[in-house]
Amino acid sequence: MLASAISRQCRAAAAALTRPTKVGCHYSHTFSHACLRSSLAARATESSSELNPLPNSHSGSVFKYFSKRDAKFVLSATKPEHYSRIPETPEVTFAGRSNVGKSSLLSAILRSQGLVKTSKKPGHTSALNFFSLTSGSYPGAISLVDMPGYGFRSRDEWGEFIMKYLSTRKVLRRVFLLIEAKVGELKATDMSFLELAEQYDVPVQIVLTKTDKMKRVDLDKTCRTVIRSATDIASSVVQPTVICCSSRTKVGIDALQLELLRVCDIIPSEETAE
């Protein structure tokens, strides 16, 4: 009955859109995560929804990799010379406004509460913080980067440092742009970052954080609002999937972990069936 209720909500929300898009809601019965997929095709004319759990074949891979991993803090970089010494492994970066939940989310992904420092004060993360994730019995290594929160430094100083990173970091596979779900929209700083990412052709995926504080119907609406705004700004780099998660309840963390493994070629990507 829960699946039917969620499916009906998705269909109703999709039908209410003024510009039809193809939408699918992904819900895992094992981890209870929700992801909203919205097509980037400008000429899409079909409105539909689909309820799919995390593939069993991949859920096992996700658990194996992240349960037997060795997570380490590598270094804090305040200039390019610092991170140029890091071994070239596939890298993903987490960006967003101050206090959007980057540090808490990284702790949930890495399954290490003491590794990533969290502060109640906005802008605590003043540098690019690099973490490595390896697994002795499972192939592949990943580098994860915690970016400074928007507004910590002056815009010019922060922008110059980040522009250098985005434009020169060849191992960077994707930036996960975190948006607090209850905010409900992109802020000016988020838009500026998307413009920067498109300028340097860096793939970006939207992640809605703290979703445990929202009702499902409101979350669906926020997903559609945010993905449309993001694709209007940077359609060439924004990925068509919004990942909804909560570091407090761990909802959606498995979906984000799966995407990390796909992006970094630890497990093969699979095209969603039409």
CATH number of 107's domain: 3.40.50.300
The pLDDT score that the predictor gives to residue 41 is: 31
Tokens matching residue 49 = 């929804």
Q: Compute the average pLDDT of residues 211-233.
A: 94
Give the chain's mean pLDDT.
76
* Domain annotation covers residue 118: yes
Beta strands in the chain (DSSP E): 23-27, 34-38, 51-52, 69-77, 91-96, 128-135, 141-146, 172-180, 204-209, 241-244
The pLDDT score that the predictor gives to residue 233 is: 98
* Domain annotation covers residue 61: no
pLDDT bucket at 25, cuts 50 / 70 / 90:
very low
Residue 237 is given by DSSP the state: T
* Domain annotation covers residue 15: no
**Percentage of the residues of the chain whose pLDDT score is greater than 70:** 69
Picking from 52, 23, 53, the residue whose alpha carbon sits closest to that of residue 39 is 23
Residue 193 structural domain: 70-263
Q: Compute the average pLDDT of residues 247-263.
A: 93
Name the domain count of the chain.
1
* Domain annotation covers residue 256: yes
The pLDDT score that the predictor gives to residue 137 is: 56
Amino acid at 150: Y
Q: Regarding predicted confidence, which is higher, 2 or 147?
A: 147
Q: What is the pLDDT of residues 148-173, one digit of tens each?
A: 887 655 556 566 888 889 999 999 99
Picking from 152, 140, 137, the residue whose alpha carbon sits closest to that of residue 99 is 152
CA 245 to chain centre: 9
pLDDT at 39 over 90: no
* Domain annotation covers residue 79: yes
Within 10 angstroms of residue 135's Cβ, the number of other Cβ atoms is 18
Reported as half-sphere exposure (CB side, CA atoms, 13 A), residue 58 has a value of: 20
* Domain annotation covers residue 128: yes
Q: Is the dihedral of CA 246, 247, 249, 250 positive or negative?
A: positive
Cα separation, 51 vs 25, whole angstroms: 5
Q: Regarding predicted confidence, which is higher, 150 or 242?
A: 242
Q: Compute the average pLDDT of residues 41-59.
A: 39
Tokens matching residue 205 = 């995926």
In residues, how long is the chain?
Answer: 274
The pLDDT score that the predictor gives to residue 218 is: 94
Most confident of 21-25, 52-56, 158-162, 244-248: 244-248
* Domain annotation covers residue 18: no
* Domain annotation covers residue 34: no
The pLDDT score that the predictor gives to residue 221 is: 94
